[in-house]
Amino acid sequence: MDFYGFYTGKIFDAYKYLGAHMDGQGVTFRTFAPSAERVSLIGEFNGWQEQPMNKAYDGNFWECHVENAKAGEMYKYRIYRRDGQCRDHCDPYGFGAELRPNTASFIRDMDKYVFSDEAWMQARSDCRNKPLNIYEAHLGSFRKPGEEADAWYSYEELGEILIPYLKEKGYNYLEVMPLNEYPSDESWGYQGTGFFSPTARYGTADQLKVFVDKCHQNGIGVIMDFVPVHFAVDDYALAQYDGTALYEYPNSAVGVSEWGSCNFMHSRGEVRSFLQSAANYWLTEYHMDGLRMDAISRAIYWQGSPERGVNMNAVDFLKYMNQGLKRLHPTAILAAEDSTSYPGVTKAVSEGGLGFDYKWDMGWMNDTLNYFRMAPEYRSRNYHKLTFSMMYYYDDRFILPLSHDEVVHGKATILQKMSGQYEEKFPQARAFYMYMYAHPGKKLNFMGNEIGQFREWDEKREQDWNLLDYPIHQSFLRFMEDLNGIYRDHPALYEKDYETEGFRWLDCHQEEKCIYAFERVSRKERIAAVFNFSDREQKEYLLTVPGAKALQPLLLSEWKVYGGGEQNSSKKLQGTEGRFLLSLQPYSARYYLVE
């Protein structure tokens, strides 16, 4: 290992030195604990009896070699602090961990599994000019093998269930909530204890590799949530690891996050190397296709508050990490969950940006959902909530997210957010989703949204698949499947997402009627999208599409097959000098191919 690089926060491969490594003669264990008085190794291979570890390199590292240790066995480090106390810790660089409430690490042979996804890896891209339709999932509650809260399918079993569903419904990327080990089910993985350990809830490291490999062989990319900002407070893990604040800030004013977890101290080179190595580890060892980085606003600003100022050490860390990851994995996707207006999040580091490929458009999400929550009589006065997004859209490269955060903690599900009673919600949801998929930006939808889930997400229960026994939910899922197919098959909806010529308003001044119209353009096609978000039929609406001779219906939200009142028809609309007369049903949306 490059020790100078480790201390200065420059390396991405610390996990190849630290942790438990098999060498053919046994296993070498190493840990970084500069303030420890002494460290012992305990594990299954020595009957959990203390085996002293020796100081290595400059005395800040501890190591020992065990000849009879083998893959699959458990171990811990017993760290004696300078105050005379001792704690048993899991390995910060451990490649496997026990299921909570147990806390040991596992020895893993990381070279055993051989991937068969060469074709995928060679063809992979960041999807800048391609469709990126992401299905966000919590693996433990997509489907469950039983009703118990801790009944879970394995990674391999999930591959047999989830992959065919994604292919059939038209998603080309899966985003999984954090798979690092974590103690509390309710944290969903966002407060981690094992940053190099795939959670034991669903199996082993090799089983996760099988899952990712099968995804790739079926044309599905995998993005994993990664948390470089904070970690769990549990004293068997990173917190006070060697008796001092080794990974966290020593000052609680900035050391404790709003969630009660410990904030990483990004000014320390050792912490930077730890996080950079963890990020690289998931991309390298598991062939993950990208990382969605959580709570980036809490790294940019002290405690996430612009009033407290920019945390320049953390910003520099993000820049260096992203630049290094893109150098090592040019086609991997790096996405930021950031709700602030900090400039240049998706600009290259060389241009003064943070170096992410994409940023979640939280402003679009909030404005749009708030608009659809309103009763229709209030939408006129809030008409420009839906036009505002294009005022700032080209400042960054955005993903439009309808994530797990929007369907929990009393916020209601996406379908429930729609104004009105039960029957009114479905046509509005169809129109809403057509607006989302026509709007520039890549797409992300959380599991359950596509079936019209009414119950808020609960990590202890699987999705309410029984809803599909009801025709109205079946029709909604059919609509979402067709919409995904339209998005995938029509370059106008994705090819020029981040170029100004890829979008233009056709009509954004129908405040009283709540009609919107815009055009999406690619090199080979044009699509006109028209929306009526009022509760009234809008008769004889004149739509002007410059240069158009005819409009070919591509998708109408009010078709009967989706539960609407219109017969499916592909009959072209003929225009005069680009002008077309339409009658728009209440709460409806339409896509037309422009000829």
Residues designated catalytic:
294, 337
Structure tokens at 13: 């491969």
Residue 183 buriedness (CB in 10 A; 0-12 / 13-18 / 19+)? buried
* DSSP-assigned states of every residue in 422-464: HHHHHHHHHHHHHHHHHSSSEEEEETTGGGT--SPP-TTS---
CA distance 462 to 465: 8
Directed axis angle between helix 155-169 and helix 205-217, to 10°? 20
Tell me the pairing of strands 442-446 and 133-137: parallel
How many angstroms separate the Cα of 388 from the Cα of each of 22, 366, 368, 396?
56, 12, 10, 15
Structure tokens at 536: 């009234």
Closest of 171, 210, 187 to residue 295, by C-alpha: 187
Q: Residue 284: what are its φ and ψ, rounded to 5°?
A: -85, -55
Q: What whole-number distance in Å separates Cα of residue 5 and Cα of residue 13?
A: 10
- Minimal CA–CA distance to 121: which of 217, 254, 24? 217
Q: What is the dihedral of CA 305, 311, 314, 319, to 10 degrees?
A: 100
Q: Which residue has the tokens 């609309």?
A: 573
Are 198 and 208 in contact by the 8 Å Cβ rule? The answer is yes
Q: Residue 489: phi, psi to the nearest 5?
A: -95, -5
For residue 286, the Cα-to-chain-centroid distance in whole angstroms is 16
Break the chain down into helix, strand, coil percent, rounded to 5: 30, 25, 45
Among residues 302, 300, 304, 305, the alpha carbon closest in space to that of 319 is found at 300
